[in-house]
A and B are shown apart, each in its own frame.
Chain A
Amino acid sequence: MKFAFLVAWREYSENAKTRGFWISLLMFPVIIFLSVNVSILLETKATPVRHYVLVDQSGMFAAIVDSRLAQLTPRPQPGTNASGAPQRPFQRASVPAMIDTNADLASLARDLKPWLRGEKNVEANGREVRLDAAILIPRDIDKLIVRPRAAKAGKSDATNGIEFWSANLADPRLRDEIEQAVNGEIRRREYLARGMDSAAIREVEQTRALFASLNPAKEAGREAVSGADVIRQWAPSGFVYLLWVSIFAISQMLLNNIIEEKSNRIIEVLLSSVTPGELMMGKLLGIAAIGLTMVSVWMAALFGVLSWKSGAAPDLASQLLLALKTSNLVPMFLVYFLLGYVMYAAFILALGSVCNTIKEAQNYMAMITMIMMIPLLTMPFIPKDPNGAVARLLSWIPIYTPFTMMNRVNASPPLFDLIGTTLLLLASTAASLWMAGKIFRIGILRTGQPPRIVEMLRWLKG
């Protein structure tokens, strides 16, 4: 075993010096930091203000649209100063002076196109800005309102109704907001026209019953489902993703190492000093240590950033931190990381031992990657039905056990599933290692074409 540790130490120390390792080590803390900070920054600063011009020939909707869009401004975070105050997402700009706002909509649209295409700028708050959208409300909009059980809405000569002109098709928010504001105003006017009290109707529309979500699994008196509970339900999915990324990354590292030793012909010198078993164990342990270092740094970064960002208010960071502290997510992640890694590492060791180049290994690796994609594809569905048939079935397939059970950790899976799948995973991992050892012993000295599957099966018998 001493020699296996020597091999493991070299694997660890040499891989820990690589740029790829440091990138993967630091990438996650950076992502966590950015995802917490950038969302606030984007909300307050970075979201671009969209400028629009509104030509309301009917004179019925301009004020209500402006008022509605002004309400969309995010509330400032506690403690932010005036300079850090959130910006309005939508800002009305002045219609260019040479545009005749009384012209028919077709002419208006034609005249506004140079601004809408970005060839010219409009003015807003004393600055020249790019025009994102133009909302044109025709004079005869009243004739174009669709009313159920009434005659079909009239048809204007020039237009089909309110026109929303914009080259930006990706962001429908402005159009939706204006549509809702206009239709709300139309309905309010309808109530009035029919002699109904619109204020009373608004009150009626806001009437509702209180509805509480309660979780019987929680402590008596604290059964109410909180934001942290919802986060706790979905947090495992994040850990499944981390598990997948970490296992995949270090498996790739393991494969590259074996191929390097085979292609550089170092393997023969190693095998004159250590047994194939010691070499295999050394590699397995060395790369496992690299993986553990990586996930430990990730976990520390996750807790660090969340602790730093969480305040007294029940924000996302503090709720996520609470969810992590009050669940088994982290210990179970470490358990499934180790078991999952050893199982996949066994496949990689066997595969790497029979290939001479990365190109040869890629053919097999594509197959392993496809097998590994299943947990990613099912990842979003498991939390919705964590103890359902699909989740349970996948849990009992050892190659998917770490990912699926990780996803079910916070859903109180039956004890039979928890213990049974773990025992099966342990047994399968041991069997994989045994098979990998058999293939590794023969494959590692083999040169030329990789063997066929049938041939490898023969090695297992031998």
Chain B
Amino acid sequence: MNTNSPADPPPLELRNVTKFYGDFKAVDDVSFTLAAGSICGFLGPNGAGKTTTLRMILEIIKPTRGLITVLGRPSALEVRQRIGYLPEEKGLYKKMKTWSVIAYFATLKGLTRKAARQRALELLERYGLKDFAAKPTEALSKGMSQKVQMLASIAHDPELVILDEPFSGLDPVNQQVMEDIIRDMAARKRTILFSTHVMQHAERLCDRILLIAKGKKIFDGTIAEAKRILPRRVRIETDDDIGPLRELSGVISAQPVEPARGAAGPNDSTHWELQIGENADPQAILQLCFARGIRLRGFNQSDPTLHEVFMRLVGPEAREAAFR
């Protein structure tokens, strides 16, 4: 089904999209393009404009300004049969049978009633919900309901899948199932755009991330590119004076991580974090420690996490997200 070639238009393209609600600017001049077959994480704190952007992509609401092209068409409704959507606020018809809900949404996406029923039963079996197929959805647990909603949004095997907070409210087991579903789709070259607050999911799944805050795009790139925004770091544990390490070329700063008990000042700490430049070699730190007789009890080199990048880029607004 997905026969994208380099000449094909990208599955999704936004150009200078802006949305006002009255005087409030919810989305401010956002532009980005998704490559076919990619998984893109759409990140941002609460109220950043993520859901509004996703709704505009789906033409549920119209942008005040700007252009949106979905699967090569100016209107998502023209290609609605090729798009799957899982909204942030999730719900099902309580009295309908589980298979019937999935089949209903699939028929709205163009499948015949027979094909929709068959597909619904297949998906329920594949993702361990076969025994609940004929039960009303009100009999499902929250995790199961969310899985069913996810299956309903992809039952017609869409080329472009838009998921708004697909992991919210799920336990770790079901989060893993959700990740598996996303990976399955990516393996079949479907293009996926999902919003999330959980950086670990983005880190594990995404080829690329888009970060927005206060309606503005503040980052668009790969995970590696995002991590390069913050310096790498080396953590060491020692009782000795680390003064010589501060002089080493490539070391940007050395900060105590946790002051020692009873320590008189910051220099009395035993745990230190050294921020190092992009081209600095951590081995040089190790060598200098040996050369200067700094006895190490611990040495650990790590890249910054996406969470740290998020916090840095979003600033104080990230705190709000952290409370979720």
Contact = CB atoms under 8 A, between A and B. Distances in A.
A14 interface: yes
Q: Which of A6, A260, A265, A272 has the most CB of B within 10 A?
A: A272
Interface string B65-109: 000000000001100100101110111111110000000110111
B80 A272 contact: yes
B97 to A, nearest CB: 10
Q: Which of B58, B60, B85, B152 has the most CB of A within 10 A?
A: B60
Contacts of B269: none
Contacts of A7: 108
Contact of A268 (B87, B107, B109): B87
B168 to A, nearest CB: 12
Given A272-B83, A445-B60, A445-B61, A10 B104 contact: yes
Given A6-B108, A273-B80, A273-B109, A265 B87 contact: yes
* Chain A interface size, under 10 / 10 to 19 / 20 to 34 / 35 or more: 20 to 34
Contacts, number: 56
B90 A14 contact: no
B14 to A, nearest CB: 17
Q: Which of A10, A17, A268, A270 has the most CB of B within 10 A?
A: A268
A7 B108 CA distance: 8
A264 B93 contact: yes
15 contacts: A10-B104, A14-B96, A264-B91, A264-B92, A264-B94, A265-B87, A265-B89, A268-B87, A268-B89, A269-B87, A269-B149, A269-B152, A272-B76, A273-B80, A273-B108
Contact of B91 (A18, A266, A274, A445): A266
Contacts of B149: 269
A17 B96 CA distance: 10
B92 A266 contact: yes
Interface of A: 3, 6-7, 10, 14, 17-18, 260, 263-266, 268-275, 445
Interface string B93-137: 111100000001101110000000000000000000000000000
A14 B92 CA distance: 13
Nearest to A18: B95
A3 B26 CA distance: 31
Nearest to B137: A264
Contacts of A268: 55, 60, 85, 87, 89
Contacts of A264: 91-94
Nearest to A444: B60
Contact of B58 (A6, A18, A272): A272
B153 interface: yes
Given A14-B96, A264-B94, A269-B152, 11 more contacts: A3-B108, A7-B108, A260-B94, A264-B92, A265-B90, A266-B92, A268-B60, A268-B89, A269-B149, A269-B153, A273-B108
Contacts of B104: 6, 10
B77 A270 contact: no
A339 B184 CA distance: 51
Interface in B271-287: none
B60 A272 contact: yes
Interface of B: 55, 58, 60-61, 76-77, 80, 83, 85-87, 89-96, 104-105, 107-109, 149, 152-153
A6 B103 CA distance: 11
B87 A274 contact: no
B142 to A, nearest CB: 13
Contacts of A266: 91-93
Contacts of A275: 77
Nearest to B90: A265
Contacts of B94: 260, 264
A265 B91 contact: yes
Contacts of B93: 14, 260, 264, 266
A63 B105 CA distance: 82
Contacts of B152: 269
Q: Which of A7, A266, A271, A273 has the most CB of B within 10 A?
A: A273
A271 B149 CA distance: 15
B77 to A, nearest CB: 6
The 7 lowest CB-CB distance pairs between A and B, nearest first, are A264-B91, A265-B89, A273-B108, A272-B85, A268-B87, A265-B91, A272-B58
A14 B87 contact: no
A367 B152 CA distance: 38
Contacts of B108: 3, 6-7, 270, 273-274
A274 B77 CA distance: 8
Contacts of A445: 55, 60-61
A269 B95 contact: no
A78 to B, nearest CB: 51
A7 B80 CA distance: 16
Contacts of B86: 269
Contacts of A269: 85-87, 105, 149, 152-153
Q: Which of A266, A268, A269 has the most CB of B within 10 A?
A: A269
B60 A6 contact: no
B55 to A, nearest CB: 8
Given A6-B107, A10-B104, A271 B92 contact: no
A265 B92 CA distance: 8
A274 B94 CA distance: 21
A28 B153 CA distance: 42
Contacts of A263: 91
Q: Which of B76, B85, B152 has the most CB of A within 10 A?
A: B85
A272 B162 CA distance: 10
Contacts of B109: 273
